[in-house]
Structure 1
Amino acid sequence: MAERRSLLPPGGQAFLGSAVFASAVTTAIFLTAFSTQLLRSLLGWPGFLSIIAGLIIAALASLWYRRTHLEWHGTLPISVVVFVGWAVLSVFWSDTTISTGMRLVYLLSFGFLGFYVAVLRDTIQIVRAVGDALRILLVVSLVLEILSGVLIDQPIRFLRIDGNIATLGPIQGVFGTRNQLGFIAVIALITFAIETATNSIPRRVGRWSLLLAAASLLLSRSPVAIGVVAVVAAATLALFGLRRVPAASRWIWQIALVTGLAVLGVIVWIARLRVIELLNAGSEFEVRYRLWRSMLSYQSQDGLQGWGWVGTWPDTPPFLWMNLATGRDNSTGLNAYLDVWFQLGLVGFFAFVALVGLALVRSWLLASDKRSIVYVWPALILVALASVSLAESSTLFESGWMLLIICAVKASRSMSWRDALPKRDPVPLEPSPK
């Protein structure tokens, strides 16, 4: 049989299959995913979607020309397949079939980009790429905030920058809202800390990076981000405590930790009315609480299916009804778990909880057992995603969704029941530049 000829010369094929090209595509993916608000403001939806399409084409080419070097065994977690599959099926009962289909393509696009990064890059390489992207975007954010709030003393409306840096915030940077900036700053703190601890960057760069992330977090004045930081700090202390425990008795401490969290959860549930009363003292929680009650009242009659996947809310019923009821234009349910429940019903809710839970448990066990500190990064990122999902829906979209897929795939490849199945040995890869 005649051998199929490629349209590309051998040099082009070698470049597309090289580690250098994979590294460049990965960095471009993170820069795009974390700056979606900025890109849409500058280029509009057509330009932004063109960038996404270009990244997908580049990722497909990279995967194709490196396919013989990759181990595909146990690559995609079943929990991801179940959740995404149910979301795709929701197109059949959604009242907005075309809109649901288009938004599912958007969800799948960022999911595929996350899958590409997780399969082709090692964890430390992912940490470096995230760190490089966030350093650039946080610096750009502070520069634009200084330009708006100090130099011209005018808001930059099309970038949603209010120019409040002269009064020490709240600022939004290039991320659209203060809560999103605050959450990105939390991701940056985790990433820069791991970069510094693993000596992946010079110590001086690491210290300045941590200062940059901390300043962005404080200037955002985001109560949501402050809460996430508190949870991540507690998880970090617990995780490093477990890493110091002898391996033989570590499982006992893991069980004790789970038991303590369960008891705390029961106490919070019993005292929920008092907790809600305390939290309701602030307007930030009041808005969310009214919205969540409205979502429960407008829940689909078929509680198993939901209304159908739409991602960010369109200006159509039943989402329009909830915005009218709360007197505020909400683009999400401000809670990833309730958002999934509302759009995909109980089946989607349990599938999403299973996806987050399995990824978190696997990553946590790896981070507590493995010697390398780089395993801590996926665990803490998942802790941040799981906790922010209580007050924001960012885990379901763009960079949040992509980080969830990356961490879930990485955890599954390192700890999966499919490890018992026979494997084939991949062809060794050439050394990576990072």
Structure 2
Amino acid sequence: MSTPSNPAALTEALTRFFGAPRFTASLTLVIIGVTFSTHALRSTMGWPGLIGMLIGLLGFAALSLWARRDTLEWHGVLPISILVFVGWCVLSLVWSEYTLATLRGVSYQVTFGFLAIYVALVRDSIQIVRAIGDVLRVLLGASIALEVLSLLIDLPIVFLGIQGNIAYLGPIQGVFGTRNALGLIALIAVITFIVEWKSRSVPRALGIGSVWLAGICLVLTRSPVILIVALCIAVAAVALYALRRAPAANRWMLQLGLAAATLVTVVTLWATREQVFGLLNAGAELNVRLSLWDEMVRLMPLHPLEGWGWAGVWPSSTPYGWLEFTTGRDYSSGLNAYLDVYFQVGLVGALAFVALVGLAFVRSWILASNKRSLVYVWPALVLVVLIVTSLAESTALVEYGWFLLLVCSVRAAQGLSWRSALARKPDKV
């Protein structure tokens, strides 16, 4: 194969290669695979291996965007809410009491954010759903296989966090480190596999088998937190089904009724949270979280508006070391995304994060309610998973949770953006 003899020919060859649909599809699969496998990759390769892979993916994604620069619609594609929240996190470098950790946290956040935006830009919704479905089938299958291997050798697989409890029907952790993480990903997989199956983008047998695989993983986690999230997803799915079948003229009344019912339910559940966790036999989990949250709330008044500085995954420096000392446990997050954001970047950052999540959800919900294609249901239900789970985990702030949040936010903005509407030229009379 001859090498192009001039810069113009070389540029054209690189553009064809990095802009090819096959390259884009393959890179999307690898990005999603790495994003959902961060725990397994850190456990086997360490942080240097994971960071090296992310840097390589950043480079390929940047080259792919460059090659496709003339075919992508850029106007209004990035929601302002994302820019405001990430910008405030970056700005926290100015007052952070652990500058190096904040620099690492911001870099990690921006890396996954860039990869999410790349995927949302170069692939359409059904292609994203298919890619995530393919990745999760492999990871959930590997999780069950490793849990069975742990049973056969009668030993836990310590470096992956697999405790070998599948013989007792759980709780299992799979390749994701904790049962809550496996349960969350299994829930996302259930939504993804059902959308694939019902939209006929995969063979019926594969779709049904995939749903069974995700369902088995979900049950074997035996996680009370995920059980509550699953119930919320079931209610949201029924509500969306009713909205999509209702006459267009009556949908706004149903939307208002659902909003009111949701608010009452949330307030009621929060007021009776101890009784609810008691019924689920999750008092120990609630006590762990309450003790941590109490200590976080006690320290928040020291930096109420700006927070202590963005960290993402918690470092061992002050004040996080102090929180671990006072509660007697090691933590990598605040076990609540909203409190975690408030603690790290203050009231301003918390409001920016709530605006980001809220706008993404409202746009996705409206599109899911009014668009005929079933694929519009996927971002709305995934965002419900992230929003509800964020009450008990900080998943939405880092890695695959942050990645999914931004993918859903960008896709929703592409379908329902006021800036895009303003940019459209009025039809000629």
What TM-score does the superposition give when structure 2 sets the normalisation length?
0.94
1:231 aligns with 2:232: yes
Residue 242 to residue 320, structure 1, CA distance change in 2 (3 Å): same
Aligned to 2:378: 377
Taking the TM superposition and a 5 Å limit, the aligned residue runs for 1:41-56 are 41-56=43-58
- Uncovered stretches (5+) of structure 2, i.e. residues with no partner: 1-5
Query: Helix, strand or coil: the match of 1:174?
Result: helix
Q: Does structure 1 conserve the Cα–Cα contact (< 8 Å) formed by 2:147 and 2:166?
A: yes
Aligned match for 1:103, one of 105, 113, 123: 105
- Distance (whole Å) between structure 2 residues aligned to residue 70 and residue 88 of structure 1: 27
Deviation of residue 397 (structure 1)? Answer: 0.6
Q: Does structure 1 conserve the Cα–Cα contact (< 8 Å) formed by 2:140 and 2:213?
A: yes
Deviation of residue 65 (structure 1)? Answer: 0.5
Deviation of residue 323 (structure 1)? Answer: 1.0
Taking the TM superposition and a 5 Å limit, the aligned residue runs for 1:325-404 are 325-404=326-405
Amino acid of the residue matched to residue 51 of structure 2? L
1:318 aligns with 2:346: no
Deviation of residue 220 (structure 1)? Answer: 1.2
- Distance (whole Å) between structure 1 residues aligned to residue 150 and residue 40 of structure 2: 15
- Distance (whole Å) between structure 1 residues aligned to residue 184 and residue 116 of structure 2: 19
Q: Does structure 1 conserve the Cα–Cα contact (< 8 Å) formed by 2:174 and 2:182?
A: yes
Taking the TM superposition and a 5 Å limit, the aligned residue runs for 1:187-206 are 187-206=188-207
Amino acid of the residue matched to residue 400 of structure 1? G
- Distance (whole Å) between structure 1 residues aligned to residue 299 and residue 143 of structure 2: 38
Aligned to 2:291: 290
Aligned to 1:117: 119
Aligned to 1:81: 83
Q: Does structure 1 conserve the Cα–Cα contact (< 8 Å) formed by 2:308 and 2:346?
A: yes
Query: Helix, strand or coil: the match of 1:61?
Result: helix
- Distance (whole Å) between structure 1 residues aligned to residue 64 and residue 299 of structure 2: 45
Deviation of residue 19 (structure 1)? Answer: 1.1
Residue 168 to residue 342, structure 1, CA distance change in 2 (3 Å): same
Taking the TM superposition and a 5 Å limit, the aligned residue runs for 1:22-41 are 22-41=24-43
Deviation of residue 45 (structure 1)? Answer: 1.0
Aligned to 1:147: 149
Deviates most, 224-233 or 403-412 = 224-233
Aligned to 1:413: 414
- Distance (whole Å) between structure 1 residues aligned to residue 170 and residue 267 of structure 2: 37
- Distance (whole Å) between structure 1 residues aligned to residue 107 and residue 97 of structure 2: 17
Residue 265 to residue 167, structure 1, CA distance change in 2 (3 Å): closer
- Distance (whole Å) between structure 1 residues aligned to residue 175 and residue 276 of structure 2: 34
**Percent identical residues:** 54
Residue 152 to residue 268, structure 1, CA distance change in 2 (3 Å): closer
1:174 aligns with 2:167: no
- Distance (whole Å) between structure 2 residues aligned to residue 47 and residue 281 of structure 1: 36
Q: Does structure 1 conserve the Cα–Cα contact (< 8 Å) formed by 2:224 and 2:280?
A: no
Residue 330 to residue 181, structure 1, CA distance change in 2 (3 Å): same
Deviation of residue 421 (structure 1)? Answer: 2.5
Deviation of residue 276 (structure 1)? Answer: 7.6
Deviation of residue 394 (structure 1)? Answer: 0.7
Q: Does structure 2 conserve the Cα–Cα contact (< 8 Å) formed by 1:394 and 1:401?
A: yes
Q: Does structure 1 conserve the Cα–Cα contact (< 8 Å) formed by 2:85 and 2:352?
A: yes
Deviation of residue 420 (structure 1)? Answer: 3.1
How many matched pairs?
Answer: 420
Q: Does structure 2 conserve the Cα–Cα contact (< 8 Å) formed by 1:279 and 1:285?
A: no
Amino acid of the residue matched to residue 385 of structure 1? L
Aligned to 1:257: 258
What TM-score does the superposition give when structure 1 sets the normalisation length?
0.93
Residue 309 to residue 246, structure 1, CA distance change in 2 (3 Å): same
Deviation of residue 258 (structure 1)? Answer: 1.0
Q: Does structure 2 conserve the Cα–Cα contact (< 8 Å) formed by 1:73 and 1:423?
A: no
Amino acid of the residue matched to residue 319 of structure 2? P
- Distance (whole Å) between structure 2 residues aligned to residue 270 and residue 8 of structure 1: 65
- Distance (whole Å) between structure 1 residues aligned to residue 66 and residue 386 of structure 2: 31
Q: Does structure 1 conserve the Cα–Cα contact (< 8 Å) formed by 2:156 and 2:164?
A: yes
Aligned to 1:432: none
Q: Does structure 1 conserve the Cα–Cα contact (< 8 Å) formed by 2:274 and 2:283?
A: no
Residue 293 to residue 6, structure 1, CA distance change in 2 (3 Å): farther
Amino acid of the residue matched to residue 136 of structure 1? V
Deviation of residue 8 (structure 1)? Answer: 3.2
- Distance (whole Å) between structure 2 residues aligned to residue 331 and residue 61 of structure 1: 33
Q: Does structure 2 conserve the Cα–Cα contact (< 8 Å) formed by 1:300 and 1:342?
A: no
Deviation of residue 266 (structure 1)? Answer: 4.2
- Uncovered stretches (5+) of structure 1, i.e. residues with no partner: 425-434
Q: Does structure 2 conserve the Cα–Cα contact (< 8 Å) formed by 1:103 and 1:311?
A: yes
Deviation of residue 264 (structure 1)? Answer: 3.0
Can you list the C-alpha shifts for 1:71-121, whole angstroms capped at 9, x where unaligned?
A: 011100011111001000001000111111121001000000000011111
- Distance (whole Å) between structure 2 residues aligned to residue 49 and residue 326 of structure 1: 31
- Distance (whole Å) between structure 2 residues aligned to residue 49 and residue 277 of structure 1: 41
Aligned to 2:130: 128
Residue 96 to residue 6, structure 1, CA distance change in 2 (3 Å): farther
Amino acid of the residue matched to residue 291 of structure 2? R
Can you list the C-alpha shifts for 1:47-91, whole angstroms capped at 9, x where unaligned?
A: 111110111111111110011001011100011111001000001
Q: Does structure 1 conserve the Cα–Cα contact (< 8 Å) formed by 2:14 and 2:67?
A: no
Residue 41 to residue 138, structure 1, CA distance change in 2 (3 Å): same
Amino acid of the residue matched to residue 225 of structure 2? V
